[in-house]
Structure 1
Amino acid sequence: MTPLHALNWRYAVKQFSSSTLDQAKLDTLLEAVRLSPSAFGLQPYRLLLISNPGVRAALMPHSMGQDKVTKASHLLVFAALNRVDDAFVDSHIALLAQEREHPVERLQGFRDHLHGFLRDMTEQEKARWADQQVYLALGNCLTSAALLGIDSCPMTGFDPQGYDQVLGLAEQGLRSVAICALGERHPDDEAAQQAKVRLPAQLMTQVLV
């Protein structure tokens, strides 16, 4: 599909079928999300792909009654890192040096800049910044899924503390921020037939010349 065709085709699925996503398509989607942009390329989040019915059943009480969590083919949890500190920056610098085949010393200026950028933030500001990077990845996930013909439904209406407890995220240094159900729309999902409503272009975008 072309981007505009895909974005007109996608919608927030209300009812998923019982089908299971093709593994090759799923792998492509996860790779697309891995390639998402983030500030400085730091990616202060991780993804948890959940297909296990028992785990998803345990998440249902924390999902505000949204049975898409259990009925979709897969559930993708976007979890931000709890610690965004000097060690986190240094691990990124080491990876950057390895992948680009640079000596670490060549990246000292960039490393110092990142340290200063994060040290100027409160812990609350760091958490908000990490959340913003999650939403960049979530948006890329939705667009990439549409281009692949994968149906989705993003959700922030859930109890993050409940999810963190069920998934043991605190022990992994993570906290849940957003979730996304992935699969195939049910043929009886009436929402698929509803017109897509967005602001008209002349209201959405101001063109300054």
Structure 2
Amino acid sequence: MTTRALILTSSILGENGQSIALADHFRTLAAERDGLEITARDLVADDLPHLTQPELASWQVPAAERSDEQHALASRSDALIAELNEHDVVVLAVPMYNLGVPSQLKAWFDRVLRAGETFRYTENGPQGLVEGKRAVILAVRGGQYAGTAMDSQTPHLKGMLGLIGIAEVDVVYAEGLAMGEAHREAALEEAKQAIEGLVQRL
């Protein structure tokens, strides 16, 4: 049985980004494993625009009734949701920018968190419609925030994933990367070892 993993990167530093390096490590290990297929999407290269009212409105129009402009606008969300549904694992390689997620990643979430498609509202609250999937967060930070009140990033990511039904989430932290070379190298090595264990379990 084949497991399909979707790796999403969102670092503005490109090849110099440590989150990119960890995503590449994940991909290299996955390539060595039978039965594990990888799709990679660079959200910085994709350059998704901020969500606008016309794009949001295009989702509310039945496909057969959309104008050409509405078809073009809705196709962004439709394609990203289809890609998500085709994979079993979502790997988010996430640098921390100003205590939050990169805006490029938020633009992706703004298009896959879609009422009626990936979740629905019920009398008991929202219900996720994306079933049978898990996620891995590769969290890269210059300082040390895990487990503190300043880590608004991890709960936010888990909350967005949970909204659409992805509750099984593993988090690999690489923290303190701006706190000296020795600390940086040790943190990255620990993260790589954690990734190796995760890939073996997928």
How does the TM-score come out when normalised to structure 1? 0.26
Q: Which has the larger radius of gyration?
A: 1
How does the TM-score come out when normalised to structure 2? 0.26
The structure with more strand, counted as a fraction of residues: 2
The structure with more helix, counted as a fraction of residues: 1
